[in-house]
Every structure is written in structure tokens, then in C-alpha cells.
Chains A and B, each alone.
Chain A
Amino acid sequence: MGSNKIGMENEIEELSSDLEKERKRLEEKAQELKQREELVKDIEKEEVTLKVAGVDGGISRKNLQGIEIVITRACLVEMGYKNGKLKEHSYFPSPNPEPTLHYYEPERETKKPQLHRMEKEMQTALNYLEKEPKINMLLLDGSIVPNPSDKPKEDSKEKEKYLEVKDKYEKLFEKTTKQGIQLIGAIEDSRSRKISRKIGVKSLDNLLLHHALEKRQRTSEFNYSDEPGNHPVLSDFSNKNRNKVKAMYIKPSEEDTPLRLEYLEDHMSPDEIASHVESISKIAENYSYPVPLIEADLHAKITDKQKDLIVQQIRNRAGETPALREKRRNQRPFK
């Protein structure tokens, strides 16, 4: 009997079938990984008693006819845990941090706006460390080094900004090391394929590892880069620092994909890091992420309303100027 399905229905069926095949393929590969004791380790169950800080930044952009506005802010949340329960918390610099404004003329429109967010996050963390806080871990939302995609081209005018940001990362490495604080980055949705490539599987690491790891298991630790000296970003870091960046995946929740952690090989062992982060990340069986970073995100986020308010303030001060007019595509009379 011929199929009567037309257009998108066929495509949906095809996609569903492909995804099912892919899942089975990954499950088979994962079985192989599971057998390799050197790759899969158990995480010790722990109800933590420690102090941890998490920092996150928010960014919002507004493209007007004659100017591009980039607004950033960052918030750090310090949380004190006792036997796995949150007992105290505070914010730095405040629960509602002041945003910073950056602007570009049309011809100099930024290609790397995230550099501003990263700079704000780093500066907030550095300012906080000036107070020499008594914390055990400092968590970053994302990697503990800039993403290669955030690195401008050699001849770019933004290269200077990138190097400034990179320096702040290195300063953070030094300060946390000096103050006995373990620096860890938690990557919310990692795109890394490093492990998959190594075993010859075409997949994102966290999808493959979802089948390989059980709840409260982790991968063994591995180098962020096998050739740090040739890595587009790590090569910009000092020799000492570039070799200390490690990574691993942990699985705190049954139904959620593993969480990639990147950390500085420093004060805590991989087992300790996995156990501590697991303890403050297992939020539900279908979701895991470090709580201090969730809270920091809520305070750092810049809503559309806040963005509009800032733009309106600029308009109020500058008066009627065409540069501040909305782009024509955004002010069509008919929606």
C-alpha cells in the first residue's frame, strides 16, 4: 500500500526514524565505553558543607539606525551549604548590579559582543576576590577560558579587547590559586566532540555519554586540549596556565545529559570536584546545573524591558536624532 503522507509529515517520519537509529547506535557505542573502567568512575555521594560562589553575566544588544548598543552586567552569588542544604547566601556587587553600556558606530559594529560579557564577568569575579573571601570553589557559567569562536582575527580591531579579557582570565587563575579557591566552569550546553572523535563516533560528547554514564558517575578527567600550545586560545595563555586546564563530564541526574566541567588543576582532586559539584547540581531527575549559577543568571539577566528602558534614557538625553531611530525593519506599521 502506498504512503499517503505528504510534505512535512514524510520529513518528520524520516527524522524520527533517523534519530531512533542514532540513539541505538550511540547506545551500542556507549556499551563499549561502559566496560572501560579507566574511563567511567563513580562519584562519591556527598551532602556538602562548603562555601561556593558562582558568577554569571548578562548581555543585550540593540541595533539602531546609526548606532549599536551593547549592555552587559554580571552578578556573583555566594552560597554557604551545610550538609547539602543552603544555609546562607549573598550577592556581589549587589542583587541588582548596575549595567555597563558599550556602543559602536555602524561601520565599527562589533563582531564579538560576548567579549564584553566575559570581561564583565571576569572583572566582577576579580573584584570579589579582592575581598579575600573564605570560599572553597568559584564557579563560572561556561568555560574557564574564552571560547575559540570569541577570538577575533589577528587584524581585527577587537583583538586588543580579546587580549584584555584573556589577561583577566589568567589573573583569575592566579588569584584563585593563591587564595586556595578551586576554579571550575560548568558548561550548560557543551558542543564538544573530543571524546566521540577519539573513539570514532560522530556525536556530541554529552549525547554519547548520556548512554555511557549512570546517575552519579563521571568520566575520568582529561586535558582541555591535547596540544595546548597549538590551541587557538590556550596558546595565548602562559605556559604554566595552559597546561593546567582540565575537563570531565559528570552525571548528577538520571534523565539529564551529562554536564561538562572545566577546571584548573589546582586545589581539589577530580573526585572532590565531581562530588562537590554533583551535590549542588542535582536539582531534579530531569535537570542538573549548579544552583549558584542559576541564581547568578537570574540576577544578571537583562530583560527586553530593561534594555528598552536604557535606550529610552539615551533618547531622552540625546533628543531626536536619526541615529537613535529603530531600524526600518523593526518599525513596520503592520505586524
Chain B
Amino acid sequence: MTLGKIIATEETPTPTKVHFVTDKDLVDKDQYIKFNSPQGKVIGRIEDLHKTNRYFDSPESITQIEKTGMKVTDKFPTEEWEHTVGEVKALGIYRENKIERPTKPPAPGTEVKEPEEEVLRNFLGLEEQGKGLEIGELQHHGITSELSLTDLFQKHLAVLAQTGAGKTYTVSVLMEELLERQPEEGRLASLVIDVHGEYKSLAKSEEYKNKVKVVDGKDFRIPVNSLSASDFKKFIPGMRKPQERELSSAIEKLRYRDKPYGIEDIIKIISKDDEIHEEVQRVLPRWLERIDGNLFSKTGSSVEKLMSPGQLTVLDLSDLIESKKRGMITSYIAERLFSARRKEEVPPFVLFVEEAHNFAKEGVEKEENIPKSIIETIAREGRKFGASICLVSQRPMKLSTTALSQCNTQLIMRITNPNDLDHITKTSEGIDEKSRDSITTLRVGEALLLGEAVNHPVFLNIRERRTEEAELGEGLEEQARKYEEETEKKNQDAEAFM
């Protein structure tokens, strides 16, 4: 389908930028187009559209005309002079499944057309239908966007959006796609650090209930016998070398006994050992008691058992109020998973981390943000071992630059905070000024995908979920109404009692 013709302006056409004139509303911003250049078929993206109309180009005249009490449109055939001009960025020359850089401009007057579905799919790096993870549709083209598992997850993924833009919905779609995969397609094990209990609903769906396991954070226990003194040091950042040495010695002794042991056993050994310095004997047990809080046990929960191909574990941390406790669990799980994967004791996996900015904070020492170190390690080294991470955040600016920059694919939804936008632009090579502007205007369910998973940034409409969304909390009105009703009832009961 012909969409318009390339026009000559003072600055264009150039090899990478062209303007074309088109019928009023035939095209959309961010739509892909094609045209011929001396080098072959060029695929471009419409970066902007503007309309011209000579009847409306003089503000003074419009004011004067409308002072008569009639609109300009009542007097003149204004629509005859309305033209739409599209600004196109030439992305590359598509030739026999190869993409080359355009170095020659097209001729003015060249027809601008809609690219064929197959050409566009190949050009953008989308998988053939039925061969990848289906996360939505390519905007303005209605082409189902399927992405290769490897391209999307191997070099890690970041899902970034402000609150309410659809992060959880999008991540749920990704999880559904992972759960749908058949053994012959290659299946990953998945685990999500679910801070708000938003993914539990996946386990309720008829379709996936056998593939999704929900673990309540309150019930999760870290087995003490799996921790070394340096592991404890991560949970107790103030621990000094002599204290670590004594703790290590105590753990050695307990391990030698070859029986399960708990924190209380470690404390007992330290307290009874006369050779340990008095100060260490006083401080170390107190620290150990403080971090315990029902988080540790002799046997603990097995992380390895949570990971099976094609299965998802939802670790629901919504009832844990203490952020340190959440951090310790996340850190422990990530450490265990990465270590187990290196030894091939668990299948290749993807670890989804919701509210990632709270677990890998930018500008905060690792000692004060327990999981940051392991998250950054997986982001840096996980690729080699089939250990992938998906960071989900509404505050990219507060998210570790090291971790974020290692997420080679980014799925960005609506973000309007200028600081977050700046941070994303700095950490992502694929975002130009026009795409950055588009991010601020994305609607719920629309996303910009860029990086490893696609050859060029693409705007997607995220597909509908197959599972029900988690029930949202009560609205503020309902909560306020209930509070007043209950208070009233309590007062009445009190009066009756008196």
C-alpha cells in the first residue's frame, strides 16, 4: 500500500532522514515504512508527523477572522490545504535477510509504502509466529510480536515503568509464555520475588495451577548449616575480621558434629568458649539473635527444590514488613540459585525481582543493601551459566546502574519522571530523543522494547493476560467507609457495656 511520497526539503532527504507527504490520517507516529533508495529497500520508522495548512499559518489573520463571529472553517475550505508531513529515520537497507547501513539518499518523489509483514518481522528480529514468546502486537501493524527466549532473557531483561503503567501485567504475560513452553522448545525454571503478592493469582488459574507454586515468605527459613561465616557477614555488615574468624571457628565445630544446627547452637558455642575474646563473646551472640527473628532454622527451605523446568515459584514477601528480612531472603535465594546453577544442580532459570530498586539500590553501599551484590553478579556473569535475571522497577534512577546496564533488553512502559527518563537514556544505547519523548506518552499496556531481543526499538501493545489479575486492594472510599462503620460500632458496644 502506498502511503505517500518523499519530498525535498532544505535538509532532506539524506541517507538517514527523509520527509514524506501523506494523506491526512493514513499513518501513525512510530509506524514502519519502506522506500527504495539507490542501494535497495530501506526500512524506516516515522519519528514524527506534523500537519500544515496555509489558512492557519498566520495567528494574526485567524484572530482577525474569528473576531467577526465566524470560524475560519465556516468561510474557507481549509481542509483542502491540510497536508501531513512525516519525518522518517531510515533504519537500514534490507537485502536478502541482511541489514546494511544506508549511505545514499533516496530520490525526492520516491513512493513511501507499507512494508510486508515478513520483511518487517525479519528486519526487526521478531520470531516467526508460534516460535517464540508472544508478548503482544507490533503497534500500528497488527503483527504478533514473538521473541526468542534466548534473545529476551539470556542477557537479562529490565521491565521499567511508573506505577500503574502495567509492569505486573506485562511480567505476568512473560510468565504465562514461559509456563506455556513445551520440553522440546526448551523450558526455563522461574522464580519471582513477589513483594506485593501480585503473582499469586497465577497459581489459581486452571491452566497453570500445576505449574505454579506459591511460597509464603513468612514460612521461608534459611538453613543455618548452609551458611558460612562470610554469608553471615552479608547479613551483619558491622562484623569485623576477629568476629568473623570466631564465628567461622564455631561453625567449623558444629559442622564437625555432622548434625543439623541452628543459630542458638552457634551462640552456645561462642558463649562457652573461654578462648574467645570477651568483647566478641558479648557482641556476636547479640547480632546473631537480632538477625534471627524466625528467619533461620536447622533444616530450612530448599531453594533447589523450588526450581523445575517449565515451573514458576512465587515467593510471596507481601506479609514481611521488615525490608532487611526481605533483603536477606532475596540475597540467600539468589546466591543459592546462582551457585546451584553453576554446578548444574538446577535447570537454567530466570529470577524475576519485583521492586528491584529496593534490592539493588544505586548509590548505597553493598553492606547496607544485602542482595545488591549477588544481583549485580548474576547480571554480570549469569549469561555464561544460564542464570538470567529480570529486574522490574518503577524507579529506574534508584536501581543499580551496574545491574541495569547489564540488562541487555529493556521493556519500557510509561515513565514521566524526568530523572528516571534521564537515567534510562544514559544506561540504554538504543534510546534516542524521539523514543524518549514517546515513553512519556505511552498508554497503559503499551511498551517500548529495545536491546538484544530486537534489531531496532519497537513499540508494542502488550497482549491480554490469559490468567486473572490479582484482586486489587479496596479503594480508599471503601476503606474509609469501613473504618468509620467499625469505629461507630465499637463506640456503640462500649456505651452498651457501660
Contacts and interface: CB of A to CB of B under 8 A. Distances in A.
B64 interface: yes
A291 B81 CA distance: 15
A89 to B, nearest CB: 4
A79 B77 contact: yes
Contacts of A86: 73-77
B70 A84 contact: yes
Contact of A294 (B64, B67, B70, B76): B76
B417 interface: no
Contact of B64 (A85, A287, A295): A287
B129 interface: no
Contacts of B81: 298
B485 to A, nearest CB: 59
B76 A85 contact: no
Interface in A261-304: 282-287, 291, 294-295, 298
Contacts of A294: 76
Interface string B71-86: 0011111001100000
B293 to A, nearest CB: 78
B481 interface: no
Contacts of A291: 75-76
A285 B67 contact: yes
A66 interface: no
A85 B65 contact: no
A131 to B, nearest CB: 20
Interface string A43-73: 0000000000000000000000000000000
A95 interface: yes
B182 interface: no
B54 interface: yes
Contact of A85 (B54, B67, B70): B70
B112 to A, nearest CB: 20
Chain B contact residues (Cβ within 8 angstroms of A): what range? 10 to 19
Contacts of B54: 298
B80 to A, nearest CB: 7
Q: Per DSSP, are chain B's interface residues mostly helix, strand or loop, or mixed?
A: helix
Interface in B56-104: 61, 64-65, 67-68, 70, 73-77, 80-81
Interface in A250-268: none
A283 B74 contact: no
Interface in A4-43: none
Interface string A69-101: 000000001010000111001000001000000
B498 to A, nearest CB: 77
Q: Which of A77, A291, A294, A295 has the most CB of B within 10 A?
A: A295
B70 A284 contact: no
Given A282-B68, A284-B65, A285-B64, A295 B76 contact: yes
Contacts of A77: 77
B68 A285 contact: yes
A283 B61 CA distance: 9
A85 B77 contact: no
A295 B77 contact: yes
Q: Which of A77, A282, A284, A294 has the most CB of B within 10 A?
A: A284
A284 B74 contact: no
Interface of B: 54, 61, 64-65, 67-68, 70, 73-77, 80-81
10 contacts: A84-B70, A85-B74, A86-B73, A89-B77, A283-B64, A283-B65, A283-B68, A284-B65, A285-B68, A298-B81
Given A285-B68, A291-B76, 9 more contacts: A77-B77, A84-B70, A86-B76, A283-B64, A283-B65, A284-B64, A285-B64, A285-B67, A298-B54
